[in-house]
């Protein structure tokens, strides 16, 4: 059975990375799509693990070679999902997790409407601000830009297949696991089984 694609989108600072990490600690048969970015690595980020850190020129070459499933500009940097690895993982029967921003999620939705879109929301606006500031990875100006972008991203949330509120890590991961499980109980996955019985 081919794997499914789960798009985990939502504003910067909402905790997508932490939730995804915990999901991978609990569940097998998942593939994390490592994005390419022109952003510089933060302390502790490893090339090929957190991102493929590439130059602007390389990024443009990848676009020309049609190597991205989607790509988007985000606060002065470019981010993209390498298509080949996603397809290979799905062929192996693994579910693919994309941690991407909302523009990219829209592109994947247009190209592959069967991909499941999950919006991760903070419990409140104040909490999002607090998380972005306290993680200390961005300058005050970059934090402001990310918050402005977050306002725009919220406008898309109602169109998603699911909304997960990250009030606690435990709750968010549990909801995510429940969504993945439910998606594997859909008739398109079970029709052969039913035909075998009837």
- Tokens 């903070």 belong to which residue? 122
- Which residues are paired to 6 by β-bridges? 97, 116
Using the 8-state DSSP alphabet, how is residue 13 labeled?
Answer: T
Judged by CB under 6 A, the chain residues 137 through 196 that form the site for ligand 5GP are none
Of 183, 198, 197, which is closest to residue 1 (Cα–Cα)? 183
Count, residues near ligand 5GP per rule CB under 6 A: 15
Q: What share of the chain is helix, strand, coil (3-state, %, to 5)?
A: 45, 20, 30
Nearer to ligand 5GP, 159 or 192 (CB): 159
By CB under 6 A, is residue 118 in contact with ligand 5GP?
no
Of 68, 11, 6, which is closest to residue 38 (Cα–Cα)? 68
Nearer to ligand 5GP, 5 or 35 (CB): 35
By CB under 6 A, is residue 5 in contact with ligand 5GP?
no
What is the closest distance, in whole angstroms, from the C-beta atom of residue 186 to ligand 5GP in the complex?
26
Binding positions for ligand 5GP, rule: CB under 6 A: 12, 16, 35, 39, 70, 72, 74, 79-81, 99-101, 103-104
């Amino acid at each position: 059975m081919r794997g499914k694609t789960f798009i985990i989108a939502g504003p910067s600072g909402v905790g997508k990375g932490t939730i995804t990490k915990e999901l991978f600690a609990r569940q097998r048969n998942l593939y994390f799509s490592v994005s390419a970015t022109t952003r510089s690595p933060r302390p502790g980020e490893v090339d090929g693990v957190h991102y493929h850190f590439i130059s602007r020129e390389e990024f443009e070459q990848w676009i020309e070679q049609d190597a991205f499933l989607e790509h988007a500009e985000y606060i002065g940097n470019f981010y993209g999902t390498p298509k080949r690895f996603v397809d290979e993982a799905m062929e192996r029967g693994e579910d693919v997790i994309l941690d991407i921003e909302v523009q990219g999620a829209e592109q994947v939705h247009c190209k592959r409407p069967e991909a499941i879109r999950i919006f991760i929301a903070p419990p409140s606006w104040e909490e999002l601000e607090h998380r972005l500031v306290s993680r200390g990875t961005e300058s005050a100006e970059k934090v402001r830009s990310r918050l402005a972008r977050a306002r725009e991203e919220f406008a898309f949330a109602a169109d998603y297949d699911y909304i997960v509120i990250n009030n606690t890590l435990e709750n968010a991961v549990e909801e995510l696991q429940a969504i993945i499980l439910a998606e594997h109980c859909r008739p398109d996955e079970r029709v052969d089984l039913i035909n075998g019985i009837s």
